[in-house]
Structure 1
Amino acid sequence: MAPTTPALEVALPPTTYCSGSYVGGEVHINFRHLQHDKYVQVWVTLRGQARSIIKHGNSTECDTIPLLELTRVLWTYGAEYPPPETDILRLFFRFELPSYLPPSFYHSSSEGTGAILYCLTVVGVRPGNQSPRVIHIPIVILPQDDFYPPSTPPWSSSSLALQTTVKEKAVRKGLWGDPATVRVEFSLPDIPVYPLFTPIPYTIDITTTTAVLFRWGAGASSSIFPAPPTTAGQFILELVRRTTVRVEDEEHTFESTVTQYLGLNRLPSASVEMDLPDKEWMGVHDPDANRRAQSGNARGMWVQRSCLRSSLTLDVPPMFNASDMIECEYFLKLRVPFPGRGNDVELDVPITVVSGVIEPRARKEHVPRLQYPCSSGSPLSSEVFLPSEYWDVRGSREWQEFTRGIKPSFAHPQRD
């Protein structure tokens, strides 16, 4: 009868590693159950690969680049036994990571896939032609980056300058309405890179100016087109990933939303402050201004403004370029809807995302999360988000190809 507890187990605390650090853990061999499993050798390997895939209908083109392969034999039959007071032999291992590695990554579409996969594999070799026991544990690696000390983000200074992206657009109420103007300003800290896991302040400033009209026909208490947003649920702010994969001379680029910070009729991902100044009347030159003023029907424009202040947190793999085979970039996409066809205002802001990680950090066990998009009402993680495909070592084709190359490569000692 097979034992309920396996003879081979791996103890590897959930950790986000960084390049240049160490990956260490334990392999436990239960000698009480060893007679059933009959292992003759136990070894461990730490492996990394970059895989790019481009699809054309029923055909698929693939390319693979090895990033990392470190292997150690931990135990050979007869070489070591557990202490007298226990049945468990604890075998320790530790691997040093190279000083630079691209981040763990997985982005897939109907046209292609880019994946950076890292996995610790423990193999219990059985004698003869018996199948080995293989344990695969995907791990998370980020590039080490000390651009900013995590405890002192640069935007903590009150004197930090802002970089502002501006979009101005003429909008119409109805098909033949006179043009009004909408001006959207999106401001972020003026710094070259943005690290993970740190709230980054931003401001969205909306100014609307009506078409020239009579003040009597659009009083201060009326709803005036175009009216600026007054709640966070009237904005859409998303983080979009753009991935380029290359296989030989072919190239394909695809995009997807990975996080939504503000969404229509959704709770925002962080606290929001709204500033809603009163409308302002701006008169225009009018030869009959005195006569119209006496009648209370002067010509001019209403200027309305709203300002949203909040913060966003990045929890995605940082930007990278893996040997020109896989390239990952990000941009923030802001959309401010206004009534009427074609009146929405959109702007894209490219951002450079870095890890901001200088040492390994503990993480929780993987919990599946929707990839498209993260619910804007959910608290953002302090851990890098990777889709379920990254953790499914038995399901995705990329992992099947990855693990296919892991085979016992050592001589098998004979058991008595």
Structure 2
Amino acid sequence: MQRLLLSLQSRPENLTAAPPAPDTSSGSRSQTGLSVHLPINALYVSGGPVEGEVELDFRQLRQDNAQEVRVRLRGLARTFVTLDKTTLQEDVHLVRTSVAVWRSGDAYPPPGSDVLRFPFSFQLPPTLPPSLHYVGGGGVVDIKYAVTAVAVRPGTFHRNRRVRVPLAVVDRDSRAHIRDRLLGLAAGTDAIPWRTHRTQENVRKGLWGNYGTVQVQLTIPDIPVLPLFAPIPFIIEVKTTSPPLTRAKADALPPGKPVFPPAPAEFTTLEFKLRRKLHIRANAYAVDSSSDVAVFTRDASVISAAHADPIESAWSPLHGADEKSADAPGTWVQRAAFRSSFRLTCAHTFKIDNADSEFHLDVKVPIPGVGNNVHVKVPVVLTSGVDAPVPLDGLRPHAPTAGRDHPATLTYRREFWDR
């Protein structure tokens, strides 16, 4: 699944040096005279601060003839769309600000030291899309944020020295209380109403014959959005009804043999996932690209917490039939139910000039035969679940996590920060 990568601020005296990105124009303080110190293990939120310190090696800066050191905060949404072997690119600047922290002659290190440290502080815009890297379906979306320290060197042939640290950012969630309620529901201290989404289809074994029916229900909390980093419980219920079957034929069925259409015996025989559609634009080109973000029926943590009710199966007479008669018409009814919870750690729903996303939950129950699979699809809106900077320790899972990766870890590449 696509994932975030996080870091954030605390008090300056608690700052820990964050490793610079592996970039040809940046490096360690011994190479560039610069290092950026940011608090680690926290998540940045739109509208919130980005604070830290830049550390200067005064001796190295003098050797490089650096005239100024600036700290920059950049956010960029870059998209590519390829159609008919032609690729177009579009950039949208999300945040672009900088501050000078040192100029030649302004300050010197204390006696016996070559080190200078200067604090910096930025404020993120009030609304931002989440950090994201996506490639697929003829499109690319890169949404990146970074803090960069730049030592400015005069002269055409003297490249500026840089050290940059990528940030992970999510949008501030005005309904963050929903995450708190879900955490309370998992702890047994809160109650939330539920809502059920249902699909029923007629199915048959082959091209001819009578139809049976399959009814699938997905029940989830009745909430307007699904927040990240919170356990979201669900119930999947399947009811199958056979084609007409007399009482005598029902009594003659071998014990344990499923009747068509069969009810699923195990959670992992279903397919339950979160899908995302990205609408990607790059100037005159546009493309829609869909992909699986998380497949819960393959996630070990969701599977381990899943509870399956024993399958109920019985012959049921049709209305008005004499159920004691061997020739009484009826149907074979089977029921199965599965309960568990998942935790989302993907980039949430967003909309900007060159890209937007939408999500839906998809339950698929496989039924033997051609075209017999039954789906329940539920559109959902994902939010960050947080309204202020949160240490990562506060986002550790206490319930199953969707995906194989550590929660609160959104991946991204670090390639294009040369501006």
Partner residue, 1:222: 257
Task: Determine what percentage of the aligned residue pairs are the same residue.
Answer: 32
Change (3 A) 1:311 1:31: same
Report the TM-score when normalising by structure 1: 0.82
Q: Which aligned pairs between 1:256-405 and structure 2 lie closer than 5 A?
A: 256-263=291-298, 268=302, 271-284=305-318, 292-293=325-326, 298-323=328-353, 325-363=354-392, 378=404, 381-386=406-411, 390-393=412-415, 399=416, 403-404=417-418
| In 1: Cα distance, 2:304 partner to 2:229 partner | 13
Give 1:298 deviation, angstroms.
4.6
Give 1:349 deviation, angstroms.
1.0
| In 2: Cα distance, 1:251 partner to 1:270 partner | 41
Q: Contact between 1:232 and 1:268, CA under 8 Å: does it hold in 2?
A: no
Change (3 A) 1:158 1:8: closer
Q: Contact between 1:234 and 1:263, CA under 8 Å: does it hold in 2?
A: no
Q: Contact between 2:211 and 2:243, CA under 8 Å: does it hold in 1?
A: yes
Give 1:353 deviation, angstroms.
0.8
Change (3 A) 1:159 1:151: closer
Partner residue, 1:168: 200
Q: How far does the alpha carbon of each residue in 1:216-262 deviate from its partner, in whole angstroms, 9 at most, with x for none?
A: 33255432222211212111111111111234454321111111111
Q: Contact between 2:45 and 2:389, CA under 8 Å: does it hold in 1?
A: yes
Partner residue, 1:83: 110
Determine helix, strand or coil for the equivalent of 2:223: coil
| In 2: Cα distance, 1:158 partner to 1:184 partner | 28
Q: Which aligned pairs between 1:183-194 and structure 2 lie closer than 5 A?
A: 183-194=215-226
| In 1: Cα distance, 2:181 partner to 2:301 partner | 28
Determine helix, strand or coil for the equivalent of 1:153: helix
The aligned amino acid for 1:140 is A
Partner residue, 2:35: 9
Partner residue, 1:41: 68
| In 2: Cα distance, 1:274 partner to 1:287 partner | 33
| In 1: Cα distance, 2:94 partner to 2:108 partner | 35
Determine helix, strand or coil for the equivalent of 1:151: helix
Q: Which aligned pairs between 1:29-178 and structure 2 lie closer than 5 A?
A: 29-128=56-155, 129-149=157-177, 150-153=179-182, 156=185, 160-178=192-210
| In 1: Cα distance, 2:94 partner to 2:301 partner | 41
Report the TM-score when normalising by structure 2: 0.81
Change (3 A) 1:59 1:9: same
The aligned amino acid for 1:183 is Q
Stretches of structure 1 lacking an aligned partner (at least 5 in a row): 365-374, 394-398, 407-416
Q: Contact between 2:309 and 2:338, CA under 8 Å: does it hold in 1?
A: yes
Q: Contact between 1:148 and 1:154, CA under 8 Å: does it hold in 2?
A: no
Q: Which aligned pairs between 1:188-203 and structure 2 lie closer than 5 A?
A: 188-203=220-235
The aligned amino acid for 1:5 is S
